């Protein structure tokens, strides 16, 4: 069987939300909006605006350009959720999530177009198969 690289780029429009131990969405993350913005702003080439709008761009190992745009949603005492759209290599996705407390912070993913909730593994498989836009 010929095996090709399954995913060199994730493509997505997703809402990322904190999850409980059973993988169900919970209202608030274990970090504040301000902490999330500060951690994300430390990523190379990441721009985070005071209102929570973010833009991150780069180039993968093959020279393909990628870009993630999104919004941090303030929940008062804690971050409520993060909406992200774009594409990036899996390693960049992991870097972005680590800035938000993952893997210590469990996460769940919602596809806004159809309202489906996905586990992390389901999301990664979905993002790897998504066509380029």
Closest CA to 12 of 96, 94, 69, 61: 69
CB 106 within 8 A of CB 18: yes
pLDDT digits (tens, 9 = 90+) for 25-83: 998 899 999 999 999 999 999 999 999 999 999 998 888 899 999 999 999 889 999 99
What pLDDT is attached to residue 4? 38
C-alpha to C-alpha distance for 118 and 99, rounded to whole angstroms: 21
Closest CA to 13 of 67, 80, 66, 86: 86
Which DSSP string do the residues of 103-127 spell out, in sequence order?
Answer: TTS-EEEEETTTTEEE-HHHHHHHH
Closest CA to 130 of 5, 13, 3, 2: 13
Cβ neighbors of 123 (< 8 A, separation 6 or more) are 12, 14, 109
pLDDT digits (tens, 9 = 90+) for 103-121: 999 999 999 999 899 999 9
Domains present along the chain, CATH in parentheses: 30-129 (3.30.310)
């Amino acid at each position: 069987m010929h095996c090709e690289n399954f995913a060199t780029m994730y493509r997505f429009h997703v809402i990322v939300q904190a999850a409980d131990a059973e993988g169900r969405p919970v209202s608030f993350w274990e970090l504040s909006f301000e902490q999330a913005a500060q951690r994300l702003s430390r990523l190379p080439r990441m721009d985070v605006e005071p209102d929570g709008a973010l833009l991150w761009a780069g180039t993968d190992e093959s020279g393909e350009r990628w870009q993630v745009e999104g919004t941090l949603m303030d929940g008062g005492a804690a971050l409520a959720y993060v909406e992200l759209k774009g594409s990036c290599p899996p390693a960049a996705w992991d870097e972005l999530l680590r800035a938000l407390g993952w893997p210590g912070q469990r996460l769940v993913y919602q596809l806004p177009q159809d309202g489906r909730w996905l586990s992390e593994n389901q999301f990664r498989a979905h993002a790897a198969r998504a066509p380029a836009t």
